[in-house]
Structure 1
Amino acid sequence: MTVIDENKLTAAGSPGGTDFGGDRKCWLDLRGLGEWRQAVGEEALHQGFDAIVAADPADLAPLPPSVTRVLVPEELPDDFGVADLVLVDPRRHGMPSVLAERHPGVRFGSRHDVRDPDDLAAACESVRRDPVVLLHFLDPTNIPMEIVLAAADGAEGTIITRVDGVDDAAVHLSVLEHGPGGVMLAGAAPGEATRLAQVVRDRSPDLELVTLTVTGVRHAGTGERACVDTCTYLRQDEGILVGSRSRGMVLCVSETHPLPYMPTRPFRVNAGAIMSYTLADHEHTRYLSELAAGGTVLAVGADGRTRRVTVGRVKIETRPLLSIDAVAPTGERVNLIVQDDWHVRVLGPGATVHNSTSLRPGDEVLGYLPGRERHVGYPIDELCYEQ
């Protein structure tokens, strides 16, 4: 399959396959920007947007060839100018494949405003047929988008959806887990193109986990511990990183492994004492006591892969506590305080599951060494002793 090389269309005229899980596209719609057109357009170019959309070929002429110049005309012009791609309404202008035959050298895709079942049916046909489809969903529901994305499964085209703000983009990109191949920002103000680029291109990078050697396990009296209940089915080799000190954490596994007396709770991690650190994302720490419904915590797999998941609830209860000491190959000392019970588990190399109460000196567990001190969750280089 022929794809866009970064920003430009290739000779085959297809700007990428159904890019679910790949690099998703940032488009900017110049139409309707008014006084902000030049400022937002320059901002989008600076942020490396993949495409700029206009209704008049003259508005595309000043754009550099490093960006895909997309024409969305009301009526088909005699001259398409420098447009790399022309998006048409098939019911008004004709099929993109037929137009491509009539206009050699011009690449065509389709566009649809989806406001009723007939529009939805036409959009579903287009995403199975056309190389690029731009969709605008007019009703405040994601159901039509879900239907179109399902209809496009296995197709080779790219779906772009119009959004009126950055918050809408975050929602679109998560519909049916994968979302469309990209989003087009309409009605933008200065600063929004930058925010959109951050949302669309945001990735949760892998972490380099290390093998820690347990040096001691002891009862630690009574205190409050936090169970972190997420809005996600966590995997059997997945949990969250928890530690008493910001420079070293242990991978506490989700409650996905069966034990007698109680059912599994695959959304939960029985994480540790409330003062413990965890990662809200790959850069910022939070105390377990600070996590709350609607926030995020970083889920981490035994192979280091990560994903941000939404916190649904944090259960803080008084329980007996267990203190686990470990040491990293670098000599960094790590401590973890958890509930003193066998159903609290940590992961070892190869995703081996350890009941915390069964740990003994010499056992190996997985951990992470952030390597910097923390101040209100932010990494900082300063003198800090944690004991």
Structure 2
Amino acid sequence: MSDVSDIVTDNITPAVGNGEGRRVEHFAWIDLRGVSGDLRDAVLQAAIHHRIDGIVSDDLVLLSDLPPTIRRILAVTADHQPDELTDLTVDIVLSTSTNHNTNPPSGQSQWGTELIVSDATTLQTACNAVRSTPWTVLTFTDPTKIPLEIVIAAAENSGGHTVTVVNDITDAEIVKLVLEHGSDGLLLTPTSPDDVATLAQVVTHRHHTIPLVELTVTGIEHIGMGDRACIDTCSLLETDEGCLIGSFASGMFLSCSETHPLPYMPTRPFRWNAGAVHSYVLMPDNRTRYVSELRAGQPILAIRSDGTAREVRIGRVKIERRPLLSITATTPDGATINVITQDDWHVRLLGPGGTVNNVTELKTGDHLLGYVPTESRHVGLPITEFCDER
């Protein structure tokens, strides 16, 4: 592996941009160089169908036939001169040269630079390029993501876009998350049309919002011993952030993270003391799982009291035998729902406005926050059918 640790990062300060800043949402490009025949045709159709942002090719005829909904990126070599590239019907001219002192060959085109980062010198070149070129396509030869982190930092507020070559879908998911916001764009040479569909999902920015409702407590009962689970996540949780959990698919309660002070022990700001092992928990993509099914590495939704949600990863699930408390409530439409939690003061549920309610201090008439799905569940998936839960 090349040694890039000696690069002088003090000189890589953010450039003054054009006021637009860097793109927040990610985008995907498909590289058709080296893809031919029926596979190229199938990939191209998949890219159009899934609204991929751009196609990279060295075939001008192919690019000129693309619909205007796709960015056309013509890849050229450094020895092409601008007067050889006149009247191009493309959006970006992607060159291996970093010398772009002239205007792009077409009045509607922009310059892009394609670079390979393999050592400290080429990393510095990449950092300079992202500060001065509208589009910089980067191939990193080493498996570490540190060079990409440095380039992303150099691009901050520059107005330019970084596009990172990824080897496969797994690599794409990682590159998207580097330094939290990741590379602006991902460039993949697909091996099948399915790669195009999956890449489109990777770059899609998902806005999770859960329509929370107000629940009214109607009953609290001490029910004796049982198995309950703590869900430890790989993220630090907010004070009004919880997971949705309940005994019935027809309604779930918003649990509270252990971010508030506790007597006799420190807080656990990564944890929900979630509930009994039979309980449903809301996962991404409107799916539920039983608490007992959860495993390290799986995604779960962290929901705030205003309904905004994000995906976090489970670090572990800890199941222990404890006294349990059954809490019953009614939904706004009069349905009865239930959650069973550990019977202890430090277990909490969230209420309207992010109020924190210790379960052992709940009383009839108290108000909590919850979620009332419109569908029943079968193996965790929503389905419209008759289902009576008691």
Task: Give your verdict on TM over 0.5.
Answer: yes
Alignment partners' CA distance in 1, 2:137 and 2:113: 6
Alignment of 1:1-387 (within 5 A): 17-20=21-24, 23-35=25-37, 36-74=39-77, 75-76=79-80, 78-79=84-85, 81-91=88-98, 94-95=99-100, 98-100=101-103, 104-387=107-390
Shift of the alpha carbon at 1:202?
A: 4.7
Alignment partners' CA distance in 2, 1:178 and 1:105: 29
Shift of the alpha carbon at 1:111?
A: 2.0
Alignment partners' CA distance in 2, 1:304 and 1:255: 19
- Determine if contact 1:216/1:361 at 8 Å carries over to the other structure: yes
- Determine if contact 2:93/2:112 at 8 Å carries over to the other structure: yes
Alignment partners' CA distance in 2, 1:377 and 1:336: 17
Residues 105/294 of structure 1: CA separation in 2 closer, same or farther (3 Å cut): closer
Could you say what secondary structure the match of 1:99 adopts?
coil
- Determine if contact 1:204/1:308 at 8 Å carries over to the other structure: no
Alignment partners' CA distance in 2, 1:227 and 1:113: 46
Alignment partners' CA distance in 2, 1:102 and 1:320: 74
Shift of the alpha carbon at 1:64?
A: 2.0
Aligned residues: 367
- Determine if contact 2:76/2:96 at 8 Å carries over to the other structure: no
Shift of the alpha carbon at 1:105?
A: 4.8
Deviation sequence 1:175-234 (CA, Å, 0-9, x none):
111111121111431211011111211514201100111111110111000000011111
Could you say what secondary structure the match of 1:19 adopts?
coil
Deviation sequence 1:63-90 (CA, Å, 0-9, x none):
2222110012124261353221112233
Shift of the alpha carbon at 1:164?
A: 2.1
Alignment partners' CA distance in 1, 2:102 and 2:45: 32
Shift of the alpha carbon at 1:62?
A: 1.9
Q: TM-score, normalised by structure 2?
A: 0.90
Could you say what secondary structure the match of 1:156 adopts?
coil
Residues 282/360 of structure 1: CA separation in 2 closer, same or farther (3 Å cut): farther
Q: Which moved more, 1:44-53 or 1:155-164?
A: 155-164
Output the amino acid matched with 1:360.
Answer: K
- Determine if contact 1:32/1:187 at 8 Å carries over to the other structure: no
Shift of the alpha carbon at 1:113?
A: 1.2
Alignment partners' CA distance in 2, 1:289 and 1:103: 60
Deviation sequence 1:289-348 (CA, Å, 0-9, x none):
000011111111111111111111000000000111111111121111000011111111
Q: TM-score, normalised by structure 1?
A: 0.91
Output the amino acid matched with 1:385.
Answer: D
Alignment partners' CA distance in 2, 1:179 and 1:101: 28
Alignment partners' CA distance in 2, 1:61 and 1:102: 15
Output the amino acid matched with 1:24.
Answer: H
Q: Provide the alpha-carbon RMSD of the alignment.
A: 1.7
Shift of the alpha carbon at 1:17?
A: 4.5
Corresponding residue number in structure 2 for 1:3? none
Gaps of 5+ in 1: 1-13
Residues 293/383 of structure 1: CA separation in 2 closer, same or farther (3 Å cut): same
Deviation sequence 1:82-114 (CA, Å, 0-9, x none):
2211122334xx13xx13177655421222111
- Determine if contact 2:233/2:312 at 8 Å carries over to the other structure: yes
Output the amino acid matched with 1:144.
Answer: P
Residues 125/336 of structure 1: CA separation in 2 closer, same or farther (3 Å cut): same
